[in-house]
């Protein structure tokens, strides 16, 4: 069977190209399961949680009895009350035992069968007495895995179930219970009361505060991506530069699993390698850019979840808007609701104590989302759209003319606004202006390392050509010189001779317009507005 890149469901190494997670699974066993920890694997959508659980289940089988459940398979009605839930849970455990190889499997199953038969009205208390008996007579320690626990997050009975688990965990030196319990979902368990309790209460009361902190990186490294591409290359012999392709994919995704697989899937299936004149170009930088561009305009479940979460949590939405358009910096603080949610969903990460958007693809999608809210009513965007053909010459972007017209349009439309208004929204106006010009052909992303309240670097890709555009607020000559040096460093990195600088200058005696500045062997085209 020909293997493919997978973006739906869990990955199987026999059917899918995948980054090896052997070391991850080994570390989970040694650091958590062997130690008898109860813990939660909470990561964003399509972050490899189920794939990890499947691999871990196989890895643990020799030493443990592993009972694996999926709460997606339990209908909502089963959470109606503790009696219905307990019997449904017992039924699912019986099914899980079918995949268990143990000499005492029949005896263990019999206890569950008797519970279902003899305790018709038995709730959680009776269920846990049965589970304790099972764990007591089992020849091997039992590990319980529950995937997709979010499916139960709206139900009080599940909170009560967790409370029972907690109670037995605290007295397990006297009363047998599961050796280790692993829950997997997007929401951290401490947030499950979010929908069940008032704000003031859920902040402090956890239904399961015994959980060990799960601190294992589940993103893919550049070397891990390279290992997957090596397997692909062994079968396809494209002649690709594996290291370069892996690094480029990582640069866009920061190792977010489904985004990595999505890029690879587009490259492999959108235009099959065998149809290309030069197979080695299949995994070139340009093709990776095309794949990213297609991902950004697709209605994929991951992005649908993102937009839904922005609508559901307006304070998180406001925070992202401030980061992107105003250069605001937020210290990483897990005690704040916005930070907690953004990291839990996988949209943001902690980088050196600062909260940053997780990867370029998320960032660009967020930019597009915020800009689309204003695009139709944007005067400067509509003017750019009207004159779009003027900015394209022989299929190439003319950035000089784009900057010249931006100065004219901006001063015409916004020149009378106060400095604070322009400082807060100037860069947004440029992106609103740029987006309809490159839309459908080009792409852009913001260099996160340089984004701050005073300056932002925009990298524009158009038909394989890159343009480095720095947007900055004028804060004196010294700061301006530092900005020029940074831009020169970028030009050197991207092997470019020409860079572009937009200065939002509030000096009364400023001279607006476009100038060319020669610095060594580089040229900076500066637009002053």
Spatial separation of the C-alpha atoms in residues 25 and 56, rounded to whole Å: 6
Q: How far is 358 from 4, CA to CA, in rounded Å?
A: 26
Q: Dihedral (C-alpha) 123, 108, 164, 72: value to the nearest 10 degrees?
A: -80
Pairing of strands 354-357, 348-351: antiparallel
Q: Which residues of 204-239 are buried (b: 16+ CB within 10 A; e: fewer)?
A: eebbbebbeebeeebbbebebbbbbbeebbeebebe
Q: Which alpha helices (DSSP H) does 1-155 contain, by range?
A: 22-28, 49-60, 82-97, 105-118, 124-137
Q: Which two tokens stand for residue 18?
A: 């995948």
d(CA 32, CA 80): 33
Nearest to 514 by CA among 411, 419, 395: 411
Q: Could you list the pLDDT tens digit for every one of the 529 residues in the chain?
A: 789 999 998 999 999 999 999 999 999 999 999 999 999 999 999 999 999 999 999 999 999 999 999 998 888 888 888 999 999 999 999 999 988 887 888 889 999 999 988 887 889 999 999 999 999 999 999 999 999 988 776 678 888 999 999 999 999 999 999 999 999 998 876 655 444 444 444 444 456 788 899 999 999 999 999 999 999 999 999 999 999 999 999 999 999 999 999 999 999 998 666 667 777 788 998 889 889 989 998 888 999 999 999 999 999 999 999 888 877 889 999 888 899 899 999 999 999 899 999 999 999 999 999 988 887 778 898 899 888 888 988 889 999 999 999 999 988 888 777 677 777 777 788 999 999 999 878 888 887 655 555 556 888 988 878 899 988 877 777 767 777 777 888 888 888 899 999 988 877 777 889 999 998 899 999 998 8
pLDDT at 449: 59
Which residues have a Cβ under 8 Å from the Cβ of 370 and sit 6 or more positions away? Answer: 320, 321, 324, 325, 428
- Output the pLDDT for position 204: 40
Alpha helix segments (H runs only) across 30-81: 49-60
Helix (H, G, I), strand (E, B) or coil at 143: strand
CA 146 → CA 40, 54, 73, 309, 462, distances in Å? 10, 11, 11, 24, 46
- Please give the DSSP secondary-structure letter assigned to residue 212: B
- Greatest C-alpha distance within the chain: 90
DSSP letter at 73 equals G
Provide the 3-class DSSP secondary structure of residue 457: strand
State both tokens at 255: 């190792």
Q: What is the spatial distance between Cα 443 and Cα 435, in angstroms, rounded to a whole number? A: 8
Comparing CA positions, the residue from 200, 180, 201, 205 lying closest to residue 190 is 205
Q: What pLDDT, on a 0 to 100 scale, did the predictor assign at position 35? A: 96
Tally Cβ neighbours within 10 Å of residue 20: 14
Q: Which whole-number Å values give the CA distances from 328 to 319, 322, 459, 484, in the listed order?
A: 9, 5, 20, 22
Q: For residue 306, give the nearest of 74, 298, 447 by alpha carbon.
A: 298
pLDDT of residue 201: 42
d(CA 354, CA 348): 10
How many Å apart are CA 121 and CA 126, to the nearest integer?
9
In whole angstroms, give the CA distance from residue 97 to residue 129.
18
The two beta strands, 455-462 and 443-447, are antiparallel
Q: Is 177 helix (H, G, I), strand (E, B) or coil?
A: coil
- Report whether 409 contacts 380 (CB < 8 A): yes
Distance CA 91, CA 85 (A): 10
Q: What is this structure's pTM? A: 0.88
Contacts with 256 (C-beta within 8 Å, 6 or more apart), sequence order: 44, 47, 219, 220, 346, 358, 359, 361, 362
């Amino acid at each position: 069977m020909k293997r493919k890149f997978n973006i739906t469901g869990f990955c199987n190494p026999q059917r899918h190209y995948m980054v090896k997670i052997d070391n991850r699974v080994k570390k989970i066993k040694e650091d958590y399961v062997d130690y008898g920890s109860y813990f939660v694997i909470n990561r964003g959508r399509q972050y490899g949680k189920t794939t990890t659980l499947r691999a871990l289940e196989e890895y643990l089988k020799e030493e443990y009895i592993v009972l694996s459940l999926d709460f997606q398979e339990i209908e909502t009605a089963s959470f109606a009350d503790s009696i219905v839930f307990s019997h449904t849970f017992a039924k699912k455990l019986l099914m899980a035992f079918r995949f268990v190889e143990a000499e005492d499997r029949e005896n263990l199953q019999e206890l569950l069968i008797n519970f279902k038969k003899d305790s018709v009205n038995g709730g959680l208390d009776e269920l846990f007495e049965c589970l304790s008996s099972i764990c007591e007579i089992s020849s091997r320690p039992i590990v319980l895995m529950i995937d997709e626990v979010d499916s139960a997050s709206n139900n009080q009975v599940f909170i009560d179930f967790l409370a029972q688990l907690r109670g037995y965990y605290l007295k397990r030196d006297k009363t047998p219970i599961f050796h280790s319990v692993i829950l997997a979902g997007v929401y951290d368990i401490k947030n499950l009361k979010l929908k069940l309790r008032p704000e003031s209460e859920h902040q402090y009361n956890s239904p399961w505060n015994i959980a060990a902190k799960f601190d294992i990186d589940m993103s893919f490294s550049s070397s891990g991506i390279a290992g997957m591409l090596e397997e692909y290359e062994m079968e396809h012999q494209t002649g690709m530069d594996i290291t370069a392709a892996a690094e480029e994919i990582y640069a866009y995704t920061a190792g977010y699993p489904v985004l990595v697989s999505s890029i690879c899937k587009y490259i492999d299936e959108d235009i099959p390698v065998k149809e290309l004149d030069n197979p080695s170009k299949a995994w070139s930088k340009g093709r990776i850019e095309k794949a990213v561009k297609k991902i950004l305009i697709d209605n994929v479940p991951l992005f649908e979840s993102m937009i839904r979460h922005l609508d559901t949590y307006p304070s998180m939405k406001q925070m992202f808007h401030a980061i992107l358009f105003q250069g605001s910096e937020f210290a990483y603080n897990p005690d704040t609701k916005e930070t907690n949610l953004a990291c839990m969903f996988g949209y943001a990460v902690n980088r050196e104590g600062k909260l940053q958007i997780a990867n370029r693809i998320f960032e660009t999608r967020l930019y597009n989302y915020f800009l689309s809210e204003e695009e139709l009513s944007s005067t400067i965007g509509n003017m750019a759209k009207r004159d779009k053909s003027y900015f394209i010459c022989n299929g190439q972007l003319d950035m000089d003319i784009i900057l010249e017209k931006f100065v004219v349009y901006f001063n015409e439309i916004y020149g009378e606004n106060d400095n604070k208004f322009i400082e807060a929204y100037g860069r947004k106006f440029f992106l609103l202006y740029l987006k309809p010009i490159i839309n459908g052909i080009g792409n852009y992303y913001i260099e996160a390392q340089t984004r701050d309240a005073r300056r932002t670097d925009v990298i524009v890709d158009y038909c394989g050509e890159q343009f480095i555009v720095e947007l900055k607020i004028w804060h004196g000559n010294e700061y301006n010189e530092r900005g020029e040096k940074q831009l020169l460093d970028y030009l050197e990195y991207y092997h470019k001779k020409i860079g572009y600088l937009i200065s939002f200058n509030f000096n009364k005696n400023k001279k607006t317009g476009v100038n060319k500045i020669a610095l060594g062997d580089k040229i900076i085209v500066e637009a002053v507005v």
